[in-house]
Structure 1
Amino acid sequence: MKLTKLVTLILLPVSMTGCSSGANDNTPGTDIKLDEKSTEIVNSDNQFGFNLFGTLVENADAGSNLMISPLSISSALSMVLNGANGDTRTQMEQVLSSSGFTTDDINTAYQKLIPALRNCDTSVDLDIANSIWIRESFQVLDKFTETNNDYYDAEVTRLPFDNTAVNQINDWVSRKTHDRIQKMVTSIEPNDVMYLLNAIYFKGSWAEKFDSNATQNKPFTLTDGNTVNVPMMRKHLKLSYLATNKFRMAAFPYGRGKFRMLVMLPNEGVSNTEILQSLDADSWQTYLKGMSQPVELDVWLPKFTFSWEIGLKDVLASLGMPKAFSQSEADFTNINSDGRLYISKVKHKTFIEVNEEGTEAAASTSVTVSYTSVGPNAPIIFHADHPFLFFITEEDTGAILFMGQLSDPRSEN
């Protein structure tokens, strides 16, 4: 049988700190129960992720792999949101799909997610961290740093913005992502006064691991119709499953099942872009609720590793928050009452490796604030042999950690 395109992958976490333990720890985790308001905000974060990811895929080069962490990006921007005022804040709320929520609603939701993730699954390593780095000579309102420390557990550091600062920031990101994200900051410009960072690291073993001896080279059909041979993991598995007229989706659990990778495999003649155009937070919930009890699947899943990075300034502006990036119109007077601050850069980097043992993924987002003087009994065939979408989710909350697209398992960049 010919293998075809891979779909997109999304990791959905539920909190902002860490859910971490040793692989041999069999202590059961704690089910996560969010209140109604916090659940709505998680859904809003997911909607922001779908909006952003759909735009990125639509504008990406054909046949490219990409992955984002909606949770990482929304976490970093939500910290910045605490410093925004006026139209700048209104636009940011609209893009983040958080209009209608108060500042306290948003901050409290993230604060509740932090302890929830710590114990959600003791067999999965999950670390989520935030930090704020401030130019030593720049004055920041105490309320801004205190709020982000209290609600986002953000580490706040004041230091001279020199080459040593670049190394310190990069060392923090590297440490929090287990060396999977490197060189988040390359240089500090004279007018840069603050960096707000989020870092996420995930490592989970499959609930049922693949046998490496069963992995064989099989053809994978690329976006352009050409086929290439790639290492394909193979196994008969009982998995939750959904089939629609556009795609088939299977859920691959990690550890004790709190986290899952959902692989969305387009049907013949359907592209990832076509699926994403109709995918939003509501349809996502409908698909999750429509998944069956575990059925037997004949699974082929390619091994793959890739890294990806992008500057998000232009795409975020195009989605509806241009004032945050305007030297003349941005209003961040809740950071410094004198104003004259704007977001000069938003950088996002991700990494993922999928193999017989499980999945390792990492992401980091940096926001630079600058100062301006201006089924059946027989196994169902589920051969992920063409570009697909993939999602890793936390079952109780449905929060999205990463979402990505695999178009070529051979490519590492």
Structure 2
Amino acid sequence: MQLFLLLCLVLLSPQEASLHRHHPRETKKRVKDLHVGATVAPNSRRDFTFDLYRALASAAPSQNIFFSPVSISVSLAMLSLGAGSSTKRQILEGLGLDLQKSSEEQLHRGFQQLLQELSQPRDGFQLSLGNALFTDLVVDVQDTFVSAMKTLYLADSFPTNFGDSAGALKQINDYVAKQTKGKIVDLLKNLDSNAVVVMVNYIFFKAKWETSFNHKGTQEQDFYVTPETVVRVPMMSREDQYHYLLDRNLSCRVVGVPYQGNATALFILPSEGKMQQVENGLSEKTLRKWLKMFKKRQLELYLPKFSVEGSYQLEKVLPKLGISNVFTSHADLSGISNHTNIQVSEVGSEAPMHL
């Protein structure tokens, strides 16, 4: 059984506040989540999902990379609703919106449609996602912002006493734990009393393979982390027909393993020494090409059982994609509140997975 829990957290506070939490844990195998993806905008000039992936991989070359493109892009799009001037422009352009060709309204309506579609009941697997807005009792949050959050992003809204840090912390953590069915608890370890707004996006995905691996066929085998480093892992195996392709341009093989229901996991195996070449070539265009090229082929597939987590302080990474103003004293978030000197102090992403 597979379990994917993905969450993005945005904290807004006066510019003197600084929040820190959760450093990524170093592991040995890099994993990219391809179960849920989103085209942020038509006519986009950049590919936000894979640009962010490459930025994260570059910042932590020896660590796992695991995140939800939907969670992060939705959180930034929500933030743009309350941003103005260059702050808004940087967020929208960072997400890939070509302001000369596409309208901001298309972006938000596109996410609204995506959220509505993904929230529909499904046969074969569990998928739930949502957004929430926690706002300080003493801060005058703009009604237009709250209304847009509810209408476009289906967001729950909760008044929160951030002056009571312990109480606010419990309120947010209890909400996240409930929405992720108890799989993410104590998301926040501490909360600065200067915080005035917290935005949360979560995704919960749980599914079984369409054809299960036989437990009796799972055996301890060698797994090569590097050509020099070998570890013993429980290795699942099964011979079956899978979607398969060999991409000679990127020097990799791709296998599609279906879940029960309308979902498929893509596993990408680079040729030896070609990991960076594959990473540099990943794009939405590449994925679409793969989906068209897939052919059914009889394979003996071996997959290690593993758990992986990704935890990021994205305020350190997003400036590499041109989104920097919002983290400084120059941030214009007047569409959220007329409270002076508000800026984003942290954008956190938390994503555990068990396979």
State which of 175, 180, 185 in structure 2 corresponds to 1:177. 180
1:205 aligns to 2:197 (yes or no)? no
Deviation at 1:205, TM superposition (A): 0.6
**CA distance in 1 between partners of 2:354 and 2:197 (Å):** 32
1:275 aligns to 2:278 (yes or no)? yes
CA offsets, 1:351-406, max 9 Å, x none? 1011xxxxxxxxxxxxxxxxxxxxxxxxxxxxxxxxxxxxxxxxxxxxxxxxxxxx
**CA distance in 2 between partners of 1:204 and 1:210 (Å):** 13
Code of the residue aligned with 1:103 in structure 2: it is E
**CA distance in 2 between partners of 1:234 and 1:291 (Å):** 21
Contact kept, 8 Å, 2:239 with 2:300, in 1: the verdict is yes
Partner in structure 2 of residue 50 of structure 1: 50
CA offsets, 1:321-345, max 9 Å, x none? 1111011x11111112455211110
State which of 220, 223, 241 in structure 2 corresponds to 1:217. 220
Partner in structure 1 of residue 263 of structure 2: 259
Overall identity of the aligned pairs, in %: 28
1:350-369 to 2 correspondences below 5 Å? 350-354=351-355
Shift of the 14–170 alpha-carbon distance from structure 1 to 2, 3 Å rule, reads: same
Partner in structure 1 of residue 141 of structure 2: 140
Moved over 6 A (4+): none
Contact kept, 8 Å, 1:135 with 1:158, in 2: the verdict is yes
Code of the residue aligned with 1:277 in structure 2: it is N
**CA distance in 2 between partners of 1:42 and 1:119 (Å):** 24
Contact kept, 8 Å, 1:46 with 1:281, in 2: the verdict is no
Shift of the 188–118 alpha-carbon distance from structure 1 to 2, 3 Å rule, reads: closer
Partner in structure 1 of residue 130 of structure 2: 129
1:238-257 to 2 correspondences below 5 Å? 238-245=241-248, 246-256=251-261
Partner in structure 2 of residue 10 of structure 1: 33
Partner in structure 2 of residue 295 of structure 1: 297
Partner in structure 1 of residue 154 of structure 2: 153
Partner in structure 2 of residue 349 of structure 1: 350
Code of the residue aligned with 2:96 in structure 1: it is S
CA offsets, 1:117-162, max 9 Å, x none? 2347311100101000001100011000000111111011112112
Partner in structure 2 of residue 41 of structure 1: 41
Code of the residue aligned with 1:283 in structure 2: it is T
**CA distance in 1 between partners of 2:116 and 2:284 (Å):** 24
Deviation at 1:60, TM superposition (A): 0.8
Code of the residue aligned with 2:236 in structure 1: it is M
**CA distance in 1 between partners of 2:84 and 2:33 (Å):** 32
1:386-397 to 2 correspondences below 5 Å? none
Deviation at 1:14, TM superposition (A): 6.6
Tell me, what secondary structure is at the counterpart of 1:288?
A: helix
Contact kept, 8 Å, 1:215 with 1:232, in 2: the verdict is yes
Contact kept, 8 Å, 1:44 with 1:281, in 2: the verdict is no
Contact kept, 8 Å, 1:7 with 1:266, in 2: the verdict is no
Shift of the 135–74 alpha-carbon distance from structure 1 to 2, 3 Å rule, reads: same
TM-score (norm 2): 0.85
**Which structure 2 segments of 5+ residues have no match?**
1-27
Code of the residue aligned with 1:252 in structure 2: it is V
Contact kept, 8 Å, 2:46 with 2:95, in 1: the verdict is no
Code of the residue aligned with 2:246 in structure 1: it is A
Code of the residue aligned with 1:55 in structure 2: it is A
The CA RMSD measured in Å over matched residues stands at: 2.1
1:368-387 to 2 correspondences below 5 Å? none
Shift of the 348–184 alpha-carbon distance from structure 1 to 2, 3 Å rule, reads: same
Tell me, what secondary structure is at the counterpart of 2:132?
A: strand
Code of the residue aligned with 2:90 in structure 1: it is Q
Shift of the 353–209 alpha-carbon distance from structure 1 to 2, 3 Å rule, reads: same
Deviation at 1:232, TM superposition (A): 0.5
Deviation at 1:41, TM superposition (A): 2.7
Shift of the 76–125 alpha-carbon distance from structure 1 to 2, 3 Å rule, reads: same
Shift of the 233–314 alpha-carbon distance from structure 1 to 2, 3 Å rule, reads: same
Tell me, what secondary structure is at the counterpart of 2:47?
A: helix
**CA distance in 2 between partners of 1:231 and 1:243 (Å):** 26
Tell me, what secondary structure is at the counterpart of 2:109?
A: helix
TM-score (norm 1): 0.74
Contact kept, 8 Å, 1:215 with 1:234, in 2: the verdict is yes
Tell me, what secondary structure is at the counterpart of 1:307?
A: strand
Code of the residue aligned with 1:314 in structure 2: it is K
Contact kept, 8 Å, 2:254 with 2:267, in 1: the verdict is yes
**Stretch moving more, 107-116 or 214-223:** 107-116
Partner in structure 1 of residue 77 of structure 2: 78
1:304-319 to 2 correspondences below 5 Å? 304-319=306-321
Tell me, what secondary structure is at the counterpart of 1:213?
A: helix
Contact kept, 8 Å, 1:166 with 1:188, in 2: the verdict is yes
